[in-house]
Structure 1
Amino acid sequence: MSLLVNLFNNRKQEPDDAHKRIRIGDQTVYLNSRGRIPVIIQQAKSRKTEIVDLVYMNDDALKLTVQSGEIFLFKRSKGEIEKMISPDGKGYQVKSIQINRNRRSLLITVKAHRASNPSMNFIHEITVN
């Protein structure tokens, strides 16, 4: 079993399709088969950090986010790019964008908003035995 895990972990992770690869500045990220990348939005606070949401971006939303410094999303239901609005009615200001090891997902840290409560996005819990 451990040999199988090692083989899986050591296999080449980059897709062969050039259309799934995009360059943002000097970095490369890989989009999924639907042309999107999953993004965790994390709110930075002085004492602890909280997850705001898990969203998807296409290449245009990611480029717009990098250029503007605000979060833009690809809304699958509408097929459109929209600005992500915080509970206080303002946009989220990007503090940092981190790329995971295999370049297939992002972690975006945003400035904290006083009126927002990120934990309200996660209200159901699964009990683990």
Structure 2
Amino acid sequence: MQLLEKLHFNEKGLIPAVIADATDGKALTLCYMNKDAVVKTIETGKIHVFRRSQNRLMLKGETSGHIQSVKRIYFDCEGNSLVFMVEQHVAACHAGYKSCYYREYIPQTNSIQVVEEKVFDPENVYK
């Protein structure tokens, strides 16, 4: 696979990947992929990640059903990271928000604000 030849995985065999909404460009989440996750993502058109906490490959959304369908794939100039533009089905965040980046830090007031509305109740999805 030509893309794999251009990528530089770290000493643990992982590469960071930003997952962003193909419609508005908003970052949805950051994950890590190993070579198998990259290959599986390209083969299926759905984001697969390497779950470091569980030491395994998984389909993003395999528990919730909130899958991410790949529309475009980019990689940086040194091959050290990826950006996947996706169609997000429901939400990317385990906390119930569309994006994991639902909080904004306001330096002027040293405060944090929630800037998105929840789109699902995690207690109903992750039982």
Corresponding residue of 1:101:
77
The SS at the match of 1:118 is coil
Which protein has the larger Cα radius of gyration, Structure 1 or Structure 2?
1
TM-score by length of 2: 0.70
The structure 1 residue matched to 2:7, chosen from 14, 29, 39, is 29
More helix per residue:
1
Contact 1:43 1:49 in 2 (8 A): yes
How far, CA to CA, are the matches of 1:37 and 1:61 in structure 2?
Answer: 10
Segments of structure 1 that go 5 or more residues without pairing to the other structure are 1-23
TM-score by length of 1: 0.69
How far, CA to CA, are the matches of 1:69 and 1:112 in structure 2?
Answer: 12
CA RMSD of aligned residues (A): 2.2
Number of residue-to-residue matches in the alignment? 102
How far, CA to CA, are the matches of 2:20 and 2:63 in structure 1?
Answer: 15
Identity across aligned pairs (percent)? 27
Q: Point out 4+ residue stretches in structure 1 off by more than 2 angstroms.
A: 24-27, 115-119, 123-129
Compared with structure 1, are the counterparts of its residues 107 and 128 closer, same or farther at alpha carbon in structure 2 (3 Å cutoff)?
same
Deviation at 1:127, TM superposition (A): 3.4
Compared with structure 1, are the counterparts of its residues 87 and 128 closer, same or farther at alpha carbon in structure 2 (3 Å cutoff)?
farther
Please identify, of 84-93 and 24-33, the stretch whose mean Cα deviation from structure 2 is larger. Answer: 84-93
